Chain A
Amino acid sequence: MEMISAQQIEKANHDGRRELFSRKNAEGVRPGSVVLVETFNGPGEKTTSTFMGVCIAIRRKGIDTSFTLRNIVMRVGVEQRFSLYSPLVKNVKVLQKPTELRVRRAKLFYLRDQPGKAFTSLQSLWKQEQLEKQQQK
């Protein structure tokens, strides 16, 4: 069964997602890092939607590995959970690494009760991302 799981991950790992979420990767996704995810809008479509947020949980279950991102959108807290190896997830990008002092837990569910100061820096990161995208075009 482990062999099957490894085989499946190999097949689904066409753009290096597994390395992004590896525990040994210092540049990878960790609880507290700011992540940007692009997903296809539908099964056959090419149009994408992006969601950016702080990674508050990583659930490691082989092919079913998923992670949750939290952000404050128009003064409403929004959490979205993504299946890492789903074909609908186009790409995953790390925008900011977590600061060593702030994060001392694997699951940051306490952020749900906090006022929202942790998410203010995300707005500037979003603007930066938009600029970079426009420059690329």
Chain B
Amino acid sequence: MSIKLMTNSSIIGRALAGSVSRWTRTAATVASETAAPEFTPQSVRTGLIARKKGMTSMWDETGIRMPITVLQLEDVIVTDVRTADKHGYTALQIGSTIKKEKNVSKPLIEHFKKLRVGLRQKLVEFRVTEDAVLPVGTPLTANHFVTGQYVDISAPSIGKGFAGVMKRWNFAGLPASHGVSLTHRSGGSTGQRKWPSRVFKGKKMAGRMGGKSVTMQNLKIVKVDPKENLLYIKGSVPGFDDQFVKVKDAVKLKAEKRYPKESYPPPFPTAV
């Protein structure tokens, strides 16, 4: 079962997508398949997992150069559905990047067997509204996002290790000469004297920097390549190359502003 699904979600996937969803429809217990859900300004679509491939640049029609980050979708499918009555909230679990059975622990293999989907390396949940729920096994492609729309991208930032106070908090340090001994990059004083006779909590000091989840909001999608499943994002994206990033529709923009007028409403719940 799982092997058949892994081939289906590869490049030929879209052609066989009909057979996949037909199979999951009979196996799963989705309520109504007849009416396609309508996009409302309050609906929240699912997000995707992509891999950061690198940066390049493009020129727009006015001749201004834009730095571009390229993200690629690798065999992204819906692996699980969380429903309000069973789990207490509505969400879709999305999986990305096929993994070989020999590289996966037994508990994980059983988990995927129970869900009856192909093995995936990275699993992420996205909260959605009830009308945006997709059946298990639906392949997601780059066409889910529209050229010209705004997205939020989250990823762990690049780790900087144990960073000093000048790098971590932009402290100015101390002068390079004039008698300063051995403390050119230190933080200086940490407080007052007799009162309050302690250092306040949250005092900016040296420590581990980076490696935390960072969200960049309102990034524009400049181009969508459905053949290779690529998203061209204007600007930079947190993380290093080949990092898994979460791409969602921009949360702070209302639906009319989020998508360009020609492509409103967007493919809902997902493209094809």
A residues in contact (CB < 8 Å) with B: 1, 4-5, 8, 12, 40, 42-44, 62-64, 83, 85-88
Q: How far is the CA of A100 from the CA of B57 in the complex (A)?
A: 35
Contact of A62 among B56, B58, B65 (CB under 8 A): B56
- B177 in the interface, Cβ–Cβ < 8 Å? no
- B127 in the interface, Cβ–Cβ < 8 Å? no
Q: How far is the CA of A42 from the CA of B62 in the complex (A)?
A: 8
Beta-carbon contact of B70 and A1 below 8 Å: yes
Q: How far is the CA of A57 from the CA of B57 in the complex (A)?
A: 21
Known: A1-B70, A4-B70. A86 touches B56 (CB 8 A): no
Beta-carbon contact of B56 and A1 below 8 Å: yes
Q: How far is the CA of A12 from the CA of B58 in the complex (A)?
A: 10
On chain B, the residues within 8 Å of A4 by CB distance are 53, 56, 70, 230
For A5, the closest partner residue in chain B by CB is: B56
For A2, the closest partner residue in chain B by CB is: B54
Beta-carbon contact of B65 and A86 below 8 Å: yes
- CB B60 to nearest CB in A, in angstroms, measures 9
Q: How far is the CA of A43 from the CA of B60 in the complex (A)?
A: 10
> Contact size class for B?
10 to 19
Beta-carbon contact of B53 and A1 below 8 Å: yes
Beta-carbon contact of A43 and B63 below 8 Å: yes
- CB A44 to nearest CB in B, in angstroms, measures 8
Beta-carbon contact of A83 and B56 below 8 Å: no
For B64, the closest partner residue in chain A by CB is: A43
Contact of B57 among A1, A40, A64 (CB under 8 A): A64
For B70, the closest partner residue in chain A by CB is: A4
Beta-carbon contact of B61 and A43 below 8 Å: yes
- CB A85 to nearest CB in B, in angstroms, measures 8
Instruction: Tell me the residues in window 16-67 of chain B with beta carbons closer than 8 Å to chain A beta carbons.
Output: 53-54, 56-59, 61-65
Q: How far is the CA of A127 from the CA of B247 in the complex (A)?
A: 57
Beta-carbon contact of B59 and A86 below 8 Å: yes
- For the A-B complex with A1-B56, A1-B70, A87-B59 known, give 9 more contacts whose Cβ atoms are closer than 8 Å: A1-B53, A4-B53, A8-B58, A40-B63, A86-B59, A86-B63, A86-B65, A87-B63, A88-B63
Instruction: Tell me the residues in window 52-91 of chain B with beta carbons closer than 8 Å to chain A beta carbons.
Output: 53-54, 56-59, 61-65, 70
On chain A, the residues within 8 Å of B61 by CB distance are 43
On chain A, the residues within 8 Å of B56 by CB distance are 1, 4-5, 8, 62-64
For A64, the closest partner residue in chain B by CB is: B57
Q: How far is the CA of A4 from the CA of B63 in the complex (A)?
A: 20
For B241, the closest partner residue in chain A by CB is: A1
On chain B, the residues within 8 Å of A1 by CB distance are 53-54, 56, 70
